[in-house]
Amino acid sequence: MAATLGRICGSKLLKSVPALNLQQANGLSTAKTWTNGQKKLVATIGALTGGVGALIYALEQSVEASGTEVHPPKMPWSHSGLISALDHSSVRRGYEVYKQVCSACHSMKYIAYRNLVGVTHTEAEAKAEAEGIMVRDGPDDAGNYYDRPGKLSDYFPSPYPNEEAARAANNGAYPPDLSYIVSARHGGEDYIFSLLTGYFDAPAGVVLREGQYFNPYFPGGAISMAQVLYNEVIEYQDGTPATQSQLAKDVATFLKWTSEPEHDVRKQMIIKVVGIMTFLAAITYYIKRHKWSALKSRKIFFVPKKD
């Protein structure tokens, strides 16, 4: 490619007399042949693009600032670094919290027991977890539906058969499915942590209906989920003190994993990409120097014809 470039405009690229540069740029420009109308059109498109971009940016900013809810502070998660993996002990504890607390109302229908294998549980443990639930299966040979213990391939059970049943049992509020909740909420795991630990009595002037609780991190402030995490509300298998913030942190880490099961692989991929891109950049730089060396060291002489 460098050779082609050199053939087409080699002498122009080599000259470095300042006064000639403008002239050369002028010679390379394609805008010279434009009519006035075309120039105006291009200018209008440019101004419109810039203006619309600025407007969208401004609107986005003002939306961020509106509303009365408190934005969650950034927490120093052990997985928030560029190449930091999830803390799998924490994910495992978070599964315990989900199973014993959250799953009473929240479904997690996109996560199967097989997903736990090699992440938080061994295969035998995951099988044991799955066998703890009953799954409606069928039809069998006689056409009947039957209940059987869960298998690795079964998804986590839902507490309610459908959304209507969930609403009827929760004052009309629908407990959202938690599979992808960290990706589905502004603030991600910071929001989950702040929400779970942010309950307090409603300030004067805030009217709550029956079955509602006050949480400043929840948009609107009135949340239908009561505070569920208290110190020692469950006991961890590994003996970690189950304080409220520990429970919230672990379950938020677990929900981060369910939302982004590829998290660790993705972070590892960053290292590979940086490595290979560094290598390719070095090669590209070398080849550029190599190919241009002939052109850059070329000298042109004027040899007068001898009579």
The site for other proteins (CB under 8 A) is made up of 78-79, 83-89, 92, 118-122, 125, 238, 264, 267-268, 271-272, 275-276
Residues 286 and 231: their CA atoms lie apart, in Å, by 61
CB 93 within 8 A of CB 250: yes
* CB nearer to other proteins: pick between 272 and 299: 272
249 class by beta-carbon count within 10 Å (0-12 exposed, 13-18 middle, 19+ buried): buried
9 is in an annotated binding site: no
The secondary structure element, H or E, covering residue 25 is helix 18-28
* CB nearer to other proteins: pick between 125 and 260: 125
Residues 119 and 92: their CA atoms lie apart, in Å, by 8
For residue 74, the minimal CB distance to other proteins (Å) is: 20
Residues 265 and 288: their CA atoms lie apart, in Å, by 34
* CB nearer to other proteins: pick between 129 and 177: 129
For residue 186, the minimal CB distance to other proteins (Å) is: 26
Could you tell me whether strands 222-223 and 213-214 are parallel, antiparallel, or unpaired per DSSP bridges? antiparallel
CB 202 within 8 A of CB 53: no
106 is in an annotated binding site: yes
Residues 170 and 224: their CA atoms lie apart, in Å, by 8
| Alpha-helical regions (H) of 29-144 | 36-65, 88-100, 123-131
* CB nearer to other proteins: pick between 61 and 278: 278
For residue 287, the minimal CB distance to other proteins (Å) is: 15
The 10 Å Cβ neighbour count of residue 105 is: 20
Amino acid at position 293, single letter: S
The beta strands (E) that lie in the chain are given as 134-137, 146-149, 213-214, 222-223
CB 176 within 8 A of CB 167: no
* CB nearer to other proteins: pick between 271 and 287: 271
For residue 117, the minimal CB distance to other proteins (Å) is: 10
* CB nearer to other proteins: pick between 93 and 185: 93
For residue 118, the minimal CB distance to other proteins (Å) is: 6
For residue 76, the minimal CB distance to other proteins (Å) is: 14
* CB nearer to other proteins: pick between 38 and 268: 268
For residue 204, the minimal CB distance to other proteins (Å) is: 45
Helical packing angle, 244-259 and 188-197, nearest 10°: 150
Could you tell me whether strands 146-149 and 213-214 are parallel, antiparallel, or unpaired per DSSP bridges? unpaired
Residue stretches of the annotated binding site for heme c: 102, 105-106, 225
Residue stretches of the annotated binding site: 102, 105-106, 225
